[in-house]
Amino acid sequence: MEELVPKFAVFLLVLVRVASFFVVSPIFAYRTIPAMHKIGLSFFLAWIMYYTIKAPTIDIDAAYFLLIIKEAIVGLALGFIAYMIMSAVQMAGGFIDFQMGFAIANVIDPQTGAQGPLMGQYFYTITLLFLLATNGHHLLLDGIFYSYETIPINEMFIPFGDENVVSYMARAFNQTFLVAFQMSIPLVGSLFLVDVALGIVARTVPQVNIFVVGVPVKIIVSFIILIAVFGAMMMSVRSLFEYALLTMRGFMHLIGGT
């Protein structure tokens, strides 16, 4: 027992960080994955990480419960950053839906149970498939694994209230909106020109019921442009993966003090 208890204490801290990361991270946090599978995957990943990280012996005392809370916060923060940046795809779909006229018809996302835009769910599904095809989920696991190099497991306090950490998160959140705008601007800009053209037609040919003709015209133009620019949007999604990893790494260095 004298050898087992210190090892179990360190393993439990590793398990808390990994399990907390799986609670909110993309792909791993979805409701379609059974809870027992999430627990089992967290357990075995934590077991592997325990033998690869260099952790000192930790005693189970009053300070140990603070370490558990700290590990949970770190895991949730890293998973939230990855999810926040990946949600830029849904934001782009929301911008497009607003211009297409699909904003009134939200759908239930079976992964999260929340309502989302039609095109946003389509883009997000394609993005997840692209993420799995390029082994992006391995990179997410790589990020949580190397977090122990910058955020030691025995470090009790982390500077979440520091000014640099808050400004860093604000810049990351701002960048998410910029990426969403860049992905949606081809369709949004084109549909704006379609609105201008329909306005001109409505003024020059009053006999045309523009409210009846305009909706199918905008939908047809939207799908034509989407087919034309879909490859460029996937390039933006690939850069989004890289930005997510860089943001997670910078956040770990910032709160780890390295």
Residue 2: the pLDDT is: 52
User: Are 241 and 139 within 8 A, CB to CB?
Assistant: yes
d(CA 30, CA 38): 10
d(CA 195, CA 255): 48
Tens of pLDDT, residue by residue over 231-252, are 888 788 877 877 888 888 888 8
Tens of pLDDT, residue by residue over 28-79, are 777 778 888 888 888 888 888 888 877 777 777 778 888 888 888 888 888 8
Residue 1: the pLDDT is: 46
User: Are 252 and 153 within 8 A, CB to CB?
Assistant: no
Q: Which residues contact residue 154 at a Cβ distance below 8 angstroms, ignoring those fewer than 6 apart?
A: 55, 56, 58, 67
Residue 186: the pLDDT is: 85
d(CA 73, CA 249): 16
d(CA 184, CA 88): 10
User: Are 225 and 192 within 8 A, CB to CB?
Assistant: no
Give me 184's structure tokens: 């949606």
By residue range, what is the domain housing residue 190?
4-256
CA dihedral 218, 223, 225, 228 (to 10 degrees): -170
- Residues in the chain predicted with pLDDT less than 70, given as ranges, are 1-6, 103, 107, 109-114, 159-162, 257-258
Residue 136: the pLDDT is: 76
Global pTM?
0.79
Give me 61's structure tokens: 């005392």
Q: Which residues contact residue 49 at a Cβ distance below 8 angstroms, ignoring those fewer than 6 apart?
A: 14, 18, 145, 148
d(CA 128, CA 112): 14
d(CA 159, CA 165): 7
User: Are 93 and 126 within 8 A, CB to CB?
Assistant: no
Residue 110: the pLDDT is: 64
Total tally of structural domains belonging to the chain:
1
Give me 167's structure tokens: 């400004």
